[in-house]
Amino acid sequence: MFTGIIQDIGTVADITKSGDWLITVHTNNLSLSHTLTGASISCSGACMTVISKKDHSFQIQVSRESLDKTTIKHWQIGSHVNLEPALRLGDELGGHLVSGHVDGITRVISRAQEGDSMRLQFSIAQELARFLVPKGSVVIDGVSLTVNEVQDKSFGVNIIPHTQKMTTLGTLEVNDVANIELDMLARYLDRLMTR
């Protein structure tokens, strides 16, 4: 489990594409001293298992399922990655409960300055839009955000300057893709209501 509060922006240092991909991510400010081999780490919203680590880098093995469902298939050496280690008992829950199970890929359809913040509009498949509500939660590339408004095939969020600086969201442009995870409580409620 995660909170959607990014702790570092990592950089893809190496990719080996054979069967499952092996990807090495270099960290900048994230301490890996408490991260065990076999532990989970959110990599731009996708929960990945650390299969090896050094002081300032770790390696993940990415299955075909993860490549099919996430933006990881677009990563290249030098790509930037939002990083958050798994929650530990007693950690502050600053964002909302995040599983790291990406629901799909969304695309930026507009970007505009709004005061000091940046407003991003994302596309969303109609079957997923029903899980979003204004003032509800959504995760974009691992970042916990508040939904401003929802339409049939799009939704909007505001990115404050701090989030622009501390995550990769500040660099998103129109037509860029991102991982999306919907609020798990909305999914459970929908399942209960439709049974």
Query: Average pLDDT of 3-30?
Result: 95
Q: Where in the chain is the domain with CATH 2.40.30.20?
A: 8-85, 104-194
pLDDT at 193: 74
Can you tell me the distance from the alpha carbon of 162 to that of 21, in angstroms, rounded to the nearest whole number?
32
Residue 116 Rama label (left phi>0; alpha psi -120 to 50; beta): alpha
Could you tell me which CATH class the domain 8-85 is placed in?
mainly beta
> How much is the mean pLDDT over the chain?
92
Q: Domain 104-194 adopts which CATH fold?
A: Elongation Factor Tu (Ef-tu); domain 3 (2.40.30)
Tell me which residue of 100, 113, 102 sits closest to 158, measured CA to CA.
Answer: 113
3-state SS, residue 126: helix
Asked whether the beta carbons of 182 and 124 are under 8 A apart, the reply is no
CA distances to 5, 63, 93, 171 from 166, in Å: 10, 28, 18, 11
pLDDT digits (tens, 9 = 90+) for 81-106: 999 999 776 666 666 778 899 999 99
pLDDT digits (tens, 9 = 90+) for 136-186: 999 999 999 999 999 989 999 999 999 999 999 999 999 999 999 998 776
